[in-house]
């Protein structure tokens, strides 16, 4: 979760975004919550931990609030929001999967446009380990413009550390109502792709260098946050609905 650019400047797209996530579990997947995150949300029959903080923390830094995570009782979509609290502080959202999946295909279906995000908004779909080896086993799909509204690219595929050769590839996603974001992690390779609702290829990239991590205690994380903690330049709150995340061993 560093700028991957998680700690670097990532760039995204604002508001009213709706996303899709299905969850499939592997029999060998290790379960158990991460310490320090007592809040949970039940989504798609799984208990996801909710990241919270009283003061700004990474990425961003931002204040992460439980109130910014909810599940629609009708559609069962997971909603991540960026809102301003009663004290006038902009707060963000992040959830953590209940298990580690390891090698396999990670699919995130987005049912809303991401090209209209404010330049300061970042949507992250990624794996993260609290342990330092293999750059925290961080593999990212990030939708962001990193504060630069003029950037014609609005997404990136990353394996950390982002500043190594071939570890980061930017791409452009247009005005798609729905999209599929996916990466397949294997021993020695990571292959990313973005597709539209008709399954047409929008972008893809394969990395086969020495920086491919091996599985450990990494978890899937979904977050919606503000680059460098800066308020949305349009002053508007952001709502992203995630319907499904699917893992295939």
- The first and second tokens of residue 95, run together, are 């959830």
Name the residue with higher pLDDT: 8 or 137.
Answer: 137
Residue 237 lies in a domain: yes
pLDDT at 59 (0 to 100): 98
Residue 249 has pLDDT above 90, yes or no: yes
Residue 116 to residue 25: CA distance in whole angstroms: 33
Instruction: Kindly give, in sequence order, each residue whose CB lies less than 8 Å from that of residue 67, ignoring residues fewer than 6 positions away.
Output: 83, 85, 91
Residue 39 lies in a domain: yes
pTM, whole model, 2 decimals?
Answer: 0.88
The string of pLDDT tens digits covering residues 150-186 is: 999 999 999 999 999 999 999 999 999 888 999 999 9
Tell me the pLDDT band of 76, cut-offs 50, 70 and 90. confident
How far is Cα of residue 47 from the mean position of the Cα atoms in its chain? 18
Residue 121 lies in a domain: yes
Residue 113 has pLDDT above 90, yes or no: no
pLDDT > 90: what percent of the chain?
75
Residue 11 lies in a domain: no
Q: What is the CATH number of the domain that holds 55?
A: 2.60.120.200
Instruction: Give strand pairing partners of 168.
Output: 158
Residue 12 lies in a domain: no
Name the residue with higher pLDDT: 19 or 80.
Answer: 80
Expressed as residue numbers, the domain containing 83 is 17-248
Residue 1 lies in a domain: no
Distances (CA, A) of 97 to 46, 85, 100: 8, 26, 8
Distances (CA, A) of 205 to 67, 111, 228: 36, 22, 27
β-pairing verdict for 46-50 and 40-43: antiparallel
Q: Is 244 helix (H, G, I), strand (E, B) or coil?
A: strand
Residue 172 lies in a domain: yes
Say if CB 82 and CB 91 are below 8 A apart: yes
β-pairing verdict for 219-226 and 121-128: antiparallel
Residue 215 gets which letter from DSSP? P
Residue 71 lies in a domain: yes
Please state the domain count of the chain.
1
- The first and second tokens of residue 134, run together, are 């293999």
């Amino acid at each position: 979760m560093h700028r991957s650019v998680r700690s670097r400047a990532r760039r995204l797209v604002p508001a009213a975004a709706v996303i899709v996530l299905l969850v499939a579990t592997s029999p060998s997947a290790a379960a158990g919550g991460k310490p320090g995150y007592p809040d949970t949300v039940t989504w798609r029959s799984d208990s996801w931990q909710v990241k919270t903080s009283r003061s700004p923390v990474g990425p961003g830094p931002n204040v992460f609030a439980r109130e910014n995570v909810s599940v629609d009782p009708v559609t069962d979509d997971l909603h991540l929001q960026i809102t301003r609290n009663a004290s006038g502080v902009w707060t963000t959202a992040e959830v953590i999967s209940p298990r580690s999946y390891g090698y396999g295909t990670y699919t995130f279906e987005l049912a809303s446009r991401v090209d209209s995000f404010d330049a300061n908004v970042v949507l992250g779909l990624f794996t993260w380990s609290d342990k330092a080896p293999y750059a925290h086993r961080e593999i990212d799909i990030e939708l962001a413009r990193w504060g630069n509204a003029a950037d014609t690219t609005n997404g990136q595929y990353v394996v950390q550390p982002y500043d190594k050769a071939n570890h980061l590839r930017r791409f452009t996603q247009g005005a798609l109502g729905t999209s599929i974001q996916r990466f397949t992690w294997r021993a020695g390779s990571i292959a990313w792709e973005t597709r539209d609702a008709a399954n047409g290829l929008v972008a893809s990239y394969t990395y086969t260098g020495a920086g491919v991590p091996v599985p450990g205690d990494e978890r899937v994380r979904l977050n919606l946050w503000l680059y460098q903690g800066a308020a949305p330049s349009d002053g508007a709150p952001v709502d992203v609905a995630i319907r499904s995340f699917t893992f295939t061993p």
